[in-house]
Amino acid sequence: MSTFISSLFSFTPYLFSFILFLILLEQISYLIKKRFIPGPTLVFPFLGNAIPLVTNPTKFWDLQSTIAKSTNLGFSVNYIIGNFIVFIRDTELSHKVFSNVRPNGFHLVGHPFGKKLFGEHNLIYMMGQDHKNLRRRIAPNFTPKALSTYTALQQIIILNHLKTWVKLSEQKKSPIPIRILARDMNLDTSQTVFVGPYLGLKAREGFERDYFLFNVGLMKLPFDFPGTAFRNARLAVDRLSGTLATCTEMSKLRMEKGEEPSCLIDFWMQDTLREMAEANYAGGESPPPFSSNAEIGGYLFDFLFAAQDASTSSLLWAVTLLDSHPEVLAKVREEVAGIWLPESDELITAEQLREMKYTHTVAREVVRYRPPATLVPHIAAEEFPLTESYKVPKGAIVFPSVLESSFQGFTEPDRFDPNRFSEERQEDQIFKRNFLAFGAGAHQCVGQRYALNHLVLFIAMFVTLIDFKRDITDGCDEITYVPTICPKDDCRVSLSRRCARYPSFPS
């Protein structure tokens, strides 16, 4: 035993020297990639700045922005768990990344550890002709007829949840945080709009549990071991995709009978079945690509992920900004009252929704002022010349900042001003390159019209049906990441019914 201990102690200096050698190599590699770009001079061994990123992402990215502003380069660098990262605040450099998503350029990853979490065959990782073909297949999901079907479902769900919110606030007799309530409403909306009648009550309960596990995993380090939050999230994604694949199969059977579409998957399957029939008639031996239940279930999960947390963020900031800008709130209420009344018991029609022009400008300004997904991570597949003097190293994770672009170019960008999107000023066209909340290039959000409709409907119904007051405390409106951005206090408000009675919508 003593001989073993003696041998162990004799080996320790070599082990220690080896670790020091690895640390030295890591620092040298980082400095070679960093060159003259602003960023930390030295980084913590192996972990880099992962701990500050996870414990306080708001402070981390604010600091990264401050460092980027220290020169006129428009970007800065850092290091996280073996990954060299590049943070971009300059709009034109961000466009350079978005427009070069290709096999030998940048690969969109959606999340720093996205491929481990979502899997390799995710919509956001596709590119080239396959990506174009899939987006063409998705297009029928967002036609005027489809969107009109969705707005009816959205309003019924929004009303049911708003009534619950008011009841809860009156029972508490104190301000209530609405982030989780808004998230649950959006999950209910997404489930109903996307797969409607095919997700039973028991399946919904399991779906909600799995989506909660997935959300927790998004904010954790990628330690993929049994029992870890990241492993639980990855397994939850598999179950969620499987559930959506089952819904796809059920929709196919219903659409084969010629029934009317009642949700997004029905519109999708209606067109897919037509293409499958055409391929079969032409003598094709295999079904068209992207038409299997498993594939479509995975893509449906991509939709769910894109719609869920981003919408929750926008709804919370809408409430926050309307409360702090009473003149805007008054104009929205006046416009909506001239178009729709709760006492009519009628759903807001697609035509009435289009007439709410000022409310639309408010929704667009909310998204500009507080874009839900502030960063869009990409990986450099090859060394890429970002500027004349600097090449992004192969394998680097590049973060174009949508938030930073939103505060460039526009007139008084630090001011919340819906009129900037009016027909008279048209800053959405003049400064179009700075409005990146829905992305740019080949991967621009295909469901942005749906997302804006949802936000406009929520604003119109919320301000018409409810009186609300924010609980103003120090720092309550500071940005926090969960994983999209939300007010730090989870948007605490007092709520009461404003209308004489709630509308009576169909169930």
Average pLDDT of the segment spanning 115-126: 72
Whether 266 shows a pLDDT value over 70: the answer reads yes
Task: Locate the domains of the chain by residue range.
Answer: 21-120+374-436
pTM here?
A: 0.90
Asked if pLDDT for residue 326 goes beyond 80, the answer is yes
Beta-carbon contacts of residue 345 (< 8 Å; ≥ 6 apart): 503, 504, 505
Is residue 227 scored above 70 in pLDDT? yes
Query: What percent of the chain has a predicted confidence (pLDDT) above 90?
Result: 64
409 has pLDDT over 90: yes
60-69, 192-201, 427-436: least confidently modelled range = 192-201
Going by pLDDT thresholds of 50, 70 and 90, the confidence category of residue 396 is very high
Q: Which numeric CATH code is attached to 21-120+374-436?
A: 3.30.43.20
- Say whether 384 sits in a helix, a strand or coil: strand
Q: What is the pLDDT of residue 6?
A: 65
Rounded Cα distance between 370 and 348, Å, is 26
3 or 193, greater pLDDT: 193
| Amino acid 378: pLDDT | 93
Task: Tell which phi-psi region holds residue 193, choosing left (phi > 0), alpha (psi between -120 and 50) or beta.
Answer: alpha
460 closest CA partner among 333, 313, 311, 271: 333
pLDDT at 185 over 70: yes
The model's pLDDT over 342-374, given as tens digits with 9 standing for 90+, comes to: 999 999 999 999 999 999 999 999 999 999 989
Main-chain dihedrals φ then ψ at residue 466, nearest 5 degrees: -130, 140
Q: Across residues 32-47, what is the average pLDDT?
A: 93
The pLDDT assigned to 9 comes to 63
Tell me the C-alpha to C-alpha distance, in Å, between residue 158 and each of 10, 88, 236, 457, 505.
69, 37, 26, 8, 11
Q: What pLDDT shows up at residue 140?
A: 84
- What is the predicted pLDDT for the residue at 443? 82
Tokens of 106: 């940048």
pLDDT at residue 285, as a whole number = 64
Top-ranked range on mean pLDDT: pick from 177-191, 212-226, 322-336 = 322-336
Q: Mean pLDDT across the stretch 68-73?
A: 96
Question: Sign of the CA dihedral 175, 178, 184, 185?
Answer: positive
Residue 168 has pLDDT above 70, yes or no: yes
Contact 496, 469 (CB under 8 A): no
Average of per-residue pLDDT across 412-421: 97
Is 445 one of the annotated binding-site residues?
Answer: yes
Average pLDDT, the chain: 90
Q: For residue 277, is pLDDT > 70? A: yes
For residue 128, is pLDDT > 90? Answer: no
Average pLDDT over residues 447-455: 93
What would the pLDDT profile of 3-37 be if each residue is shown by its tens digit? 656 665 676 777 778 888 888 999 999 999 999 99
Write the CA distances from 52 to 22, 56, 57, 70, 230, integer angstroms: 22, 6, 7, 21, 18
pLDDT at 260: 92
pLDDT at residue 8, rounded to an integer = 54
